[in-house]
Each structure stands twice: as C-alpha cells, then as structure tokens.
Chains A and B, each alone.
Chain A
Amino acid sequence: MSRASALLLLVILACVPVTAQERPYFVTYDHHLEEPGNMEISSTSLFGVPKTSRTFLASSLEFGYGITGWWTSEFYLNGQSTRGDSTLFTGYRFENRFRLLLREHWINPVLYVEFSNGNGADKTLKEIVGFDSQAGLGAPNDVERREKEREIELKLILSSNVRGWNISENFITEKNLGGGLWEFAYAVGISRPLQLAARPERCVLCPENFVVGIESYGGLGEGRRVTPRNASHYLAPVMAWQLPNGTTMRISPGFGLGRQSSRLLLRWSVTYEVSGFGRRVRNLFR
C-alpha cells in the first residue's frame, strides 16, 4: 500500500462519524445533499432474480462528498457476479447533484448530472431506463463485457417534505455517447420516520431510528416512443436503520411488475458517514 493510501485510510479511521438521516431509497433521490466537507462511504449490493436467466449479485462501492451546501459529488465503482458465469469489474460512474433553490420550498428541485464509463455486463441497475428488460440480463458476461457503455445521464429531482413525510419524484434521461437514442425513466418515492420526535436517551432500536417507505421505478421508452408500455417497472418497499455511531443500513425488496421485469431485485446497503473529511485531508498536506 502506498504512503498516500495509508494516510487516506488513517484519515477515514480518525474521522468523527455523524448521523445524517440518510434517505431510505435506493433508486429515487430526494433534495437532501451531503453536508459540506463530509464523506459518505457506502457499499450497496443487489441480488437479482430474473425470470428467464441466472441470478446475479451486483455490488458498488460509493464515495459521496459534500463540496458545498448546494453541490454533492459521488463516485462509484461497480462489479457483478453471475451464478454459473463469472465475476467482473463493470466500470465506474461519477455523479453530481446541484440544488437549484437555496431555501426550502414546497417543491425543491435538484439537477443531477452523471457520467458513467462501463461495459454491458453492469447489473447494478441504479435506474431502469428506456425499454430495459429482464431478458437483457441473460447474455453471458464474456459477451456483454465487450460492449462499451459511456453514458451521460440527467435527472430532474423534485422533492418535498410534508408533515414528516418525504415525497420525491425523479425524471430521468440517459444517452450512450457512442450512439443510440435518448432513453427515459422515472422514479418516485415516499417515506417517513417511524417516530417524528426524538427520545431523550440514546437508543439503537427505537422507532425514531427507522425510516420506512416505498418507491417505484421503471422505464419510459426512448427517442420519440415515450411510453411506459413494454418497459420494466418495479415496486419496492424500503427501510433504513440509522445507528447512533453514524452507520446506516438499508434494505429494499423490489418486486417486478409486468412481463419485462425481473421477479425480484433485493437491494441492501451499509453506509458510513465521516464528518470533516475534507478538512482533515487538507490538513495532511499543509
């Protein structure tokens, strides 16, 4: 391990964890960004059960950083393993979220811009776009990995907080820079903490530490054929459990709706948030 990597690891271990009330959704985004200077490290997995092909396990390692109060950047490393096939690295993605209004409103818009560089074997399914279907997950990894996918993705995130509930709607469009049509998608979610007020004592299993909700996501066609027909759609209950030490665990079983969808997409993640990460890294180089 190089000296720089060792120093970085030391900074992460020495940082103070904070509890930051993570969103419970996996696909839908709300308008809450990272606190400035905080780093969020997350490991997310997806166990997929397609109807007509082999099960798979896709994983991503995420690093999110609050650059300012209105700008958050995230970097992902993705990989997957298909039963009876192979395990491989499938690429990276770099996303940025910009909050467009600096105060809270009934509806709070956020602009999302992403660049991803991967191959056709990626199965992290962070969003389902266009006419993506479960049948497309069946090709062997050896064939899919040869297909280069350099894509740009834009999202308009709209999100509201009403009486303890969060309601979020995402309008998604994606394009492969190597050619092809613009593809469209949606994601909507609603969630609420099990208890709104906090207890005086520190607790682990109390209702205030749990956020529950439901999200739905799917494709909306491509090019001039903007339609939810012949696309795959999912309905997924979500739950997040926030521990006082700064760790958040999330789980969501996504059930496929219609013929084009997989039977089940079971997602789970562990997130750890470290506060003052940027300040500590800068101090290393002074």
Chain B
Amino acid sequence: MKRTSAAIGFLALALGVFCGAGRSQQAAEAHTGTRSGFDFQRVPQDSLRRDNPFQGVPAAIRAGEKLFLQHCAECHSSTEEKTRGPHLNSGKVRKAPPGALFWFVRNGNLKRGMPAWSRLPDQRIWQIVGFLQAQAAPGEDTPR
C-alpha cells in the first residue's frame, strides 16, 4: 500500500513537472515568437567590438550553414512559417555587430527558452554568425 502511494505520488509529481514545463515552454515560445530579434542592450561593450575571424570566408560560411541546420534550424527554420524562435534571415541580424551575435549565441536567453550554445567551440559559433550575416534577404541570391 505504502509502495503504491509512493509510486502514485511520484507519477503525479512527474506529470506536474511536465505540465508546468509545458506552460513555461509555451510562454517562452509565445514570447520569442512575437520578438523580431534580440536585445543588443544586454551585450557587454567588449563583446560588441569583437570581429568575426571568419568574416567573408566562403568555406566558413558553408560550414556555418551546416552547423545552423544541425543546431539552430529546429527553432529558427527559414523555410517554415511558424517557428519556436524568431526568423534570423532579417536585416537586423545582417547589420548586427558580429560580436553581439556571437555573445547572444554563446549565452542564449535561458529565461526565454533560447539555450546557451557555449558547448560549441568559439570557432563554430563564429562560423554560424558568418552564415547568418551572409544570408541573402528573401528574394535575393545568396552571396557565396
């Protein structure tokens, strides 16, 4: 009897956690869905000044595209209309300081559902940033 109660309690707790997480996740998705980009105000000044060591290198941009598809496209797909995160093929992203994008990818926004990608080496984050900034605006040819 005691064991059954414990098992029921455990299952109820697990279900509660899952449902609670669902709500917080939905809130995060709703929030990111309404945002067109990210907030540069949070980025430290020294990060804003950093340049992309792979800027304009075609092989690095292609590698960045591969990494983007592996790690980012699930939430930031440029082909699906409805995504969890904002579309990143935008003028704001193309014109952003590379250091700001690097900082944002590395730190994420954990409160709003964007994970920190610090698990990726810096070089790969810069490759992703290079790809994001080399993307053509919709209707243009991709500069390669």
- Give A104 Cβ to nearest chain B Cβ, in Å: 5
Bits for A47-78, please: 1 = Cβ < 8 Å to B, else 0: 00000000000000000011111110101000
Does A237 sit at the interface, judged by CB under 8 A?
Answer: no
Given A32-B118, A197-B60, A197-B63, also A73-B17 (CB < 8 A)? yes
Does A164 sit at the interface, judged by CB under 8 A?
Answer: yes
Q: How far does the alpha carbon of A197 sit from the alpha carbon of B21 in the complex, in Å? A: 34
Residues on A with beta carbons closer than 8 Å to the beta carbon of B107: 103-104
Does B1 sit at the interface, judged by CB under 8 A?
Answer: no
Does B95 sit at the interface, judged by CB under 8 A?
Answer: no
Bits for A141-178, please: 1 = Cβ < 8 Å to B, else 0: 00000000000000000000101101000000000000
Q: Is B127 within 8 A of A69, CB to CB?
A: no
Stretch at the interface among A123-131, A198-206, A264-272: A198-206
Stretch at the interface among A33-41, A81-89, A216-224: A33-41
Q: Is B109 within 8 A of A69, CB to CB?
A: yes
Q: Is A69 within 8 A of B21, CB to CB?
A: no
- Closest A residue to B70 using CB positions: A19
Q: How far does the alpha carbon of A214 sit from the alpha carbon of B4 in the complex, in Å? A: 42
Residues on A with beta carbons closer than 8 Å to the beta carbon of B64: 198
Q: Could you name 5 residue pairs across A and B whose Cβ atoms are closer than 8 Å?
A: A69-B111, A102-B110, A196-B124, A198-B123, A199-B66
Does B2 sit at the interface, judged by CB under 8 A?
Answer: no
Does A282 sit at the interface, judged by CB under 8 A?
Answer: yes
A residues bordering B, Cβ < 8 Å?
Answer: 16, 18-21, 23, 30, 32-33, 35-37, 65-71, 73, 75, 94, 99, 102-104, 161, 163-164, 166, 193, 196-202, 244, 275-276, 278-279, 282
Does B121 sit at the interface, judged by CB under 8 A?
Answer: yes
Bits for B58-76, please: 1 = Cβ < 8 Å to A, else 0: 0110111011001100100
**Which chain B residues numbered 20 to 41 have a C-beta less than 8 Å away from chain A?**
20-22, 24-25, 28
Q: Is B122 within 8 A of A164, CB to CB?
A: yes
Given A21-B71, A21-B119, A23-B119, 10 extra CB contacts under 8 A: A32-B116, A68-B110, A70-B111, A71-B21, A197-B121, A200-B59, A275-B74, A278-B22, A279-B84, A282-B22
Q: Is B24 within 8 A of A68, CB to CB?
A: yes
B residues bordering A, Cβ < 8 Å?
Answer: 10, 14, 17-18, 20-22, 24-25, 28, 54, 59-60, 62-64, 66-67, 70-71, 74, 84, 106-116, 118-124, 127
Q: Is A196 within 8 A of B122, CB to CB?
A: yes
- Give B77 Cβ to nearest chain A Cβ, in Å: 10
Q: Is A197 within 8 A of B71, CB to CB?
A: no
Residues on A with beta carbons closer than 8 Å to the beta carbon of B24: 67-68
Q: Is B120 within 8 A of A35, CB to CB?
A: no
Q: Is A36 within 8 A of B28, CB to CB?
A: yes
- Closest B residue to A36 using CB positions: B113
Residues on A with beta carbons closer than 8 Å to the beta carbon of B106: 104
Residues on B with beta carbons closer than 8 Å to the beta carbon of A70: 110-111
Q: Is B110 within 8 A of A32, CB to CB?
A: no
Q: Is the interface of A mostly helix, strand, loop or mixed?
A: loop
Q: Is A33 within 8 A of B115, CB to CB?
A: yes
Q: Is B124 within 8 A of A69, CB to CB?
A: no
Which of A69, A166, A196, A244 contacts B113 (CB under 8 A)? Answer: A69
Q: Is B118 within 8 A of A104, CB to CB?
A: yes
- Closest B residue to A37 using CB positions: B25
Given A16-B74, A73-B17, also A279-B123 (CB < 8 A)? no
Q: Is A68 within 8 A of B21, CB to CB?
A: yes
Q: Is B17 within 8 A of A196, CB to CB?
A: no
- Give A226 Cβ to nearest chain B Cβ, in Å: 32
Q: Is A69 within 8 A of B116, CB to CB?
A: yes
Q: How far does the alpha carbon of A21 sit from the alpha carbon of B115 in the complex, in Å? A: 13
Given A18-B71, A197-B63, A244-B70, also A67-B113 (CB < 8 A)? no
- Give B68 Cβ to nearest chain A Cβ, in Å: 11
Residues on B with beta carbons closer than 8 Å to the beta carbon of A65: 18, 21
Interface centre among B54, B67, B70 (most CB of A within 10 A): B70
